Amino acid sequence: MPLKLPICNFDAKTGILCANCEARLQKGEITKADVEASKAAIGLSDRLPELNRVALRRAFDGGGNYVLEFEQKDIPVLRSNPSMYSELETALKGKVWIVGAGGNDRKFLEDVFFPAKVLTVNTVWLSDGGKKTKVIVPAKRSERRIGDFDKLRDAVRRARGIELLVETEREAASKLHP
């Protein structure tokens, strides 16, 4: 089964969009991030056979970093290869987070923070009527896998419109017991 992409597989291989995909890009049905992620995924599909069994639904560019949205059923397949993230990051020249399509915001955030566990997700309402989503993750080791929280915040905002506050368990505890 070939890799399913937001653009034609032929376009992804050649790097040139057909008239149909170009029209979809102009209408906003697909984005430049979808095109870039599709080209990267098809380029890696020979070395990473897991990619030939999955469907990339959407890609979101967070300032040169990407949130890649795959079918929910494909997430375990992608996580079965530990080098998947680093290969995709090298191909896209930025940090990559793999998430399942659909689902609620908590499931999306759990996918973004994987393999770190999300301990708490809370909505914080601001005095100006806005809201932020506060996520607490275990201690410092989370930062090694997740990387720069600023990049993460930007990618999550662009993918789901979530304004994110991230705290480690240690930081949250120090606020409760100064």
Whether 69 and 147 map to the same domain: the answer is no
The pLDDT tens digits for 31-86 are 999 999 999 999 999 888 888 989 999 999 988 889 999 999 999 988 888 788 88
Average pLDDT over residues 134-140: 80
Strand partners, 67: 60, 97
CB 17 within 8 A of CB 11: yes
Q: Is 11 found in the same domain as 94?
A: yes
Average pLDDT rounded to a whole number, residues 115-143: 82
pLDDT at 148 over 80: no
* Gap between the Cα atoms of 167 and 5, Å rounded: 34
Pairing of strands 120-125, 131-137: antiparallel
Domain span at 163: 103-178
- Of 102, 121, 153, which residue is a domain's last? 102
Which pTM does this prediction carry? Answer: 0.86
CATH number of the domain where residue 150 is located: 3.30.300.20
Domain boundary among 68, 102, 136: 102
Burial of residue 58 (number of CB atoms within 10 Å: 0-12, 13-18, 19+): middle
